Structure 1
């Protein structure tokens, strides 16, 4: 959506998240996707999903995954964005992407995703980045397409029976695989 004025700030610094970061990561991801706080940004899923987006156990699994990492972006020492990277053969999976709602639309997301792609290539020599996006999130999919991702048409049903991913407010939700050559 990239419509907000870029805040006067330094460029983010990046590091791998640790176990000590789990509480702040849960708050960051929840704030970007669920509840009224998420409506300050444009990535909210509050109209399609209730409940949680993640929890401490879900974040811990990403942080501790032997084939992955949770990349944390900070501005002036404050955590402002994160994303999951997981090595999957010749590709990397990009997930759990969250930018602090009040900073969305200012160009920070572009910087984060570019760093994630660079890190995946450098760490694992992968040739593709994969992600899944809820198909009704057309504006978000369009944002990824502007960054070089393409829709594959490969759909996975939303996990309606697992509240760890949220409580759907409508029927027919599905996740579509998006792919970018790196």
Structure 2
């Protein structure tokens, strides 16, 4: 078996990305892993239009993790407000807990710090996802105390099953 390789997504990768991200977060398939949001949200996790815009914009990459030509995971890393932004993080449910996620996160941090010379990585996580926030804290992220509203009326990112969803902002110094 080959080692995991990373590359930037292109337009042709969009259908596979939609499938991967959906399987990691929505529906019964997502329950195999530990990152499911199936009890919090229904509907889309990502739509092709958002992916295409992220691929096209400057200082924005969708990083793919592959092994033997198979898509295993992904993340979006971009420059926003003079910091790196990390999002759309997905690992195939049956591979969650294997260390692949740590590798993808490290690659995104490398891009922000080394390629773009950014001092900080920032992300937003649904604040009810305490086990996921704890995972990021163990990787050097800190809880800022800042929150942002969840886009509850934007079906491109899901349909809330509860009315108390919001994002918590996490940050990590990359210097």
Q: Could you tell me which residue of structure 1 aligns to residue 10 of structure 2?
A: 18
Aligned length: 174
Identify which of 66, 80, 86 aligns with 1:74.
Answer: 66
CA distance in 2, matches of 1:151, 1:111: 21
Aligned-residue CA RMSD in angstroms? 1.0
CA distance in 1, matches of 2:129, 2:121: 19
Structure 2 gaps, min length 5:
none
Q: Could you tell me which residue of structure 1 aligns to residue 135 of structure 2?
A: 143
Q: Could you tell me which residue of structure 2 aligns to residue 62 of structure 1?
A: 54
Give 1:10 deviation, angstroms: 3.8
Q: Could you tell me which residue of structure 2 aligns to residue 108 of structure 1?
A: 100
Could you say what secondary structure the match of 1:112 adopts? helix
Give 1:120 deviation, angstroms: 1.4
* 1:99 aligned onto 2:88: no
CA distance in 2, matches of 1:67, 1:125: 11
TM-score after normalising by structure 2: 0.96
* 1:132 aligned onto 2:124: yes
Could you say what secondary structure the match of 1:97 adopts? strand
- C-alpha deviations, 1:132-158, integer Å up to 9, x for none? 000000000000000000111111111
Give 1:58 deviation, angstroms: 1.3
Q: Could you tell me which residue of structure 2 aligns to residue 161 of structure 1?
A: 153
Could you say what secondary structure the match of 1:144 adopts? helix
Identify which of 144, 151, 175 aligns with 2:167.
Answer: 175
Return 93-102 or 57-66, whichever deviates more: 57-66
Could you say what secondary structure the match of 1:178 adopts? strand
Give 1:89 deviation, angstroms: 4.4
Q: Name segments (4+ residues, structure 1) moved above 2 Å.
A: none
TM-score after normalising by structure 1: 0.93
Identify which of 43, 52, 60 aligns with 1:51.
Answer: 43
